[in-house]
Structures are given as C-alpha cells and as structure tokens.
Amino acid sequence: MANEMWGGRFSTGPDALMEEINASIDFDKRLAVQDIAASKAHCEMLAARGIISEQDAARIIDGLSAIASEIESGAFTFSRALEDIHMNVEARLAELIGDAAGRLHTARSRNDQVATDFRLYVRDAIDHIRGQIRSLMLSLAEKAERFADVIMPGFTHLQVAQPVTFGHHLLAWVEMLARDDGRFADARERLNESPLGAAALAGTSFPIDREMTARALGFNGPMRNSLDAVSDRDFVLETLAAAAICATHLSRVAEELVIWTTPQFDFIRLSDKFTTGSSIMPQKRNPDAAELMRAKSGRVIGALVTLLVVMKGLPLAYAKDMQEDKEPAFEALDTLSLTLEVMRGMIADMEPNAQAMRAAAAAGFSTATDLADWLVRALGMPFRKAHHVTGRLVALAENRGCDLPDLTLDDMRSVEPAISEDVYSVLGVENSVASRASHGGTAPDNVRAMARDWIERLKSAA
C-alpha cells in the first residue's frame, strides 16, 4: 500500500528494509510534547490569519489535546509505517477528527516542523541541565565553606607541589561548572529563534504570521532565512559541544575522586551509597560510580563528533541526513543529566580525611617555594638565586631524611649564612596556605569569602 501522506504518485509501499533505515519514530517519539505544542501554535496562527476556519481550528486543537493525553497515558500506538512523530500525530488526528486534520499541514513542512520541535526539545534539556549544574555547584560551594581550613597537597604533574585547602580545590570545580553553565546559557540564547513557517525551504505563499507562532512557542522571534531555518543544526552542535566540555570536566573530577579514594591516598571517603564491594575481595570499596562517570564522557564526546561528521558535507537546505541528529543528542543529554545527578549525590555524601590530607601536604618539601619566597623577601635575594639555595636545602633535608621545618638553623646556615630564626614562620603548611592571600589564592579566608559569594549567587538565582 502506498503511503497515505504522500502516496499520490506511488504505486507500492516501501521495502521492509527501507522502513528499517527510514523510520525515526522509535526515537523521535520523544518529541511528541514539542510536536503537539508547535502544531497548536501553527493551527491558531492559521485561524487568526483566516487561512483555515475557526471551526476547523477548534477541532484540530481538541484532537491534538486528545492525542497528547493518549501519548501521556501510554494508550497511543506508534506506527513505524508512519515513519516519524509528525506523521504519527497527523494520522491519528485524521482518525479522530476526519477531514479537518488535513488542513493542519497548510503552509508548513516536516522540515520546519522537525527543526522547531527539536529546538524546543533542546531548549528544555538545556534548562534542565543548567538546573542540575547549578545545584551541583551549590553542593560544592557549601562543602568548600565547611572545609575552607582543611589542608591538602596541591599537585602539578600529580606530584605534590604546594599546600592548598580542600575548599579551594572544590571551588576550582565550581569555576569549571560555572563556565559550563555559561556555555549552555549562550547556546540557549542563540537557539531561541523559530524556524516555523520556513516551510519546506523557501517560505510559503500563504499570509502566515511567523511572529505570532514564534511568540506562542517562547522564541525571541522568527529566523530570518528560510533555507537556513530548515538546514541549521548549529543549535544541537553547540549544545553538544557544551555537553562534551561539561562531561570532560565531570570526568576529570571523577578521576580525582578515584585517586583520592585509593588506600594509598585515603583523602576522602565516599558513602556506601556510591561505592560497591568486590565479589571475591571482602576488603574492597570500589568507586564504580566515579569510574563510570569518567567513562560516560566518551558517549557525550562521541555524540558531538557524530553530528559534526553528519553535518560537515551537507548542501543546503534540508537533507534526510539530519534525522541522524536526534539519537546522539538524546543519548548525550541523557548521559550528562545522569552523570550530573550522580555527581551531586556523591559530593553531598563525600567526607574528607583531614589528617591524611594534611600529612600528605606536609610531605615532599611542599613548602620549598615558601622558603624561596622568604629568601627573596627577608634577604633581598633575586628569585633565581633563592630557587638555587632552596634546592640545596631540599637536598640537605633529603639527605638527612627529614622535612624542611626539621632542619636546624645551623643546618640551614651551612647553606646560606644569612638565614635567621624567622624562616620557620613560613615553613609549616598552615603558614603556607594562610600566606597565599593574593586574589584567587588558597588562603582559608579567601576560600571562605569566595564560597559564601557562590552560595549567595546560586541561592539568589534559584
């Protein structure tokens, strides 16, 4: 049987394999809510412009509402023969209200329809994900305030570098997430224009009102070029790019959690809710959730690459290739959303082991830079020379098998005779972090102020 939507010039229906590659209903049924909202806006505009009668419009709107309830309750039967969500809804509308249903598709095409639906869907997804990012940021900022004084090693090359505070480290994550939030906000702003009324590619000869449909759907206005309106998928690409960067951040955070929960580090304890045991080794507490978050970034990055490749050679305007935008986007946005939720749960329950962190921070000559800075400040030494002298003091301590603060004054003077007792005031890790009060530095007072600032900003925006 030829297709009932466009079968006029066809004598037979599609091959089963054609349906297999062509039908998108299995995944684009997720656009049902947006598809119905856009159809209602279009229908009301057609009636307002006198393109269809008020009676037909009323029947169409009632029919669409009935379909929305059927879909919500699970009573709707989706058909692969009807290809996609647009034709599934329209065919059901015809069953429910008869001939008037055929008037809904006046002055539009599935090309502007799908572009509109997907923009609405991605816009909702962005709003949801931004809410999740911000609640994760709030959890982190609250922890940062609570643990502003807890000292831990800061690393470069994963080698102990200088002492920092745990709160400072958590606030670094907050900054990363704040940029993610900003990228999603930017993508949302550019996305928020309506393709509806671009029709197949060239616009329409009907006297439609694109401002009206744009406003009804919460868009800032109609897109300016009909060819661009049906062929643009930048809004998905930008959202996936923001998602990929965010997932990369979460993966880096997850990696730190994995490292910190090893018995060798023992910096944090994750709650039982987010760890698993081993079926053979009873002593184990594995950070499976963190490992999975680290790995899930692959799917999100993969989705971005998939769609870039789909789009890269496409001539204007619409091509069916673009149907392949949905599955990767759904998967990426679902995955990111799950990851953000799990991360928030893990962070909320995470407890630092302050003793182990402090001990690790004090090891590995982590206050060597403080010593060099003291030589510059107290003795007027050029920094390069101070670096060299400090290097010799580190070597001496290493030889003695002790830490820098454990060297006697005589030991120190054997390397640099001008060193005085005052040097010890900069050598402990507490002194070290307290002294780093420069803008953005790790001093506990800085961290407390910054954490409070974030908490206020996030709470007042919520």
| Residues forming the site for ligand ARG (CB under 6 A) | 24, 28, 84, 110-111, 114, 318, 320, 322-323
Q: How far is the CB of 111 from ligand ARG (least distance, A)?
A: 5
Catalytic position from the list 157, 205, 438, 460? 157
- CA separation for the pair 198, 80 (Å, rounded): 27
Q: Is 114 or 458 the residue whose CB approaches ligand ARG more closely?
A: 114
Q: How far is the CB of 119 from ligand ARG (least distance, A)?
A: 13
**Residue 278 is among the residues annotated as catalytic for this protein:** yes
CA angle 225, 227, 229 (to 5 degrees): 65
Residue 213 tokens, joined? 């449909």
Helix (H) or strand (E) holding 151: strand 151-156
- CA separation for the pair 353, 358 (Å, rounded): 9
Reference 119, options 218, 226, 224, 243; nearest CA is 218
**Residue 271 is among the residues annotated as catalytic for this protein:** no
Q: How far is the CB of 49 from ligand ARG (least distance, A)?
A: 24
Helix (H) or strand (E) holding 388: helix 383-400
Q: How far is the CB of 24 from ligand ARG (least distance, A)?
A: 4
Helix residue ranges per DSSP H, 4-53: 16-22, 25-28, 32-48
- CA separation for the pair 240, 246 (Å, rounded): 9
The amino acid occupying position 67 is I
3-state secondary structure of 273: helix
3-state secondary structure of 12: coil
Q: How many CB atoms lie within 10 A of CB 439?
A: 5
Catalytic position from the list 79, 278, 420, 425? 278
CA angle 103, 107, 113 (to 5 degrees): 95
Q: How far is the CB of 319 from ligand ARG (least distance, A)?
A: 9
- CA separation for the pair 52, 263 (Å, rounded): 72
Q: Which residue has the tokens 């920092």?
A: 164
- CA separation for the pair 177, 300 (Å, rounded): 16
Q: How many residues does the chain have?
A: 462
Is 69 buried (19+), middle (13-18) or exposed (0-12) by CB count in 10 A?
Answer: exposed
CA angle 185, 216, 319 (to 5 degrees): 70
Helix (H) or strand (E) holding 153: strand 151-156
Q: Is 165 or 323 the residue whose CB approaches ligand ARG more closely?
A: 323
Q: Which residue has the tokens 């965010």?
A: 246
In contact, 240 and 332? CB cutoff 8 Å:
yes
Q: Is 15 or 453 the residue whose CB approaches ligand ARG more closely?
A: 15
- CA separation for the pair 89, 33 (Å, rounded): 11
Q: Is 108 or 249 the residue whose CB approaches ligand ARG more closely?
A: 108
In contact, 301 and 328? CB cutoff 8 Å:
no
Cis peptide before 317 (omega within 30 of 0): yes
Q: How far is the CB of 195 from ligand ARG (least distance, A)?
A: 12
In contact, 23 and 40? CB cutoff 8 Å:
no
Helix (H) or strand (E) holding 162: strand 159-165
User: Which residues carry out catalysis?
Assistant: 157, 278
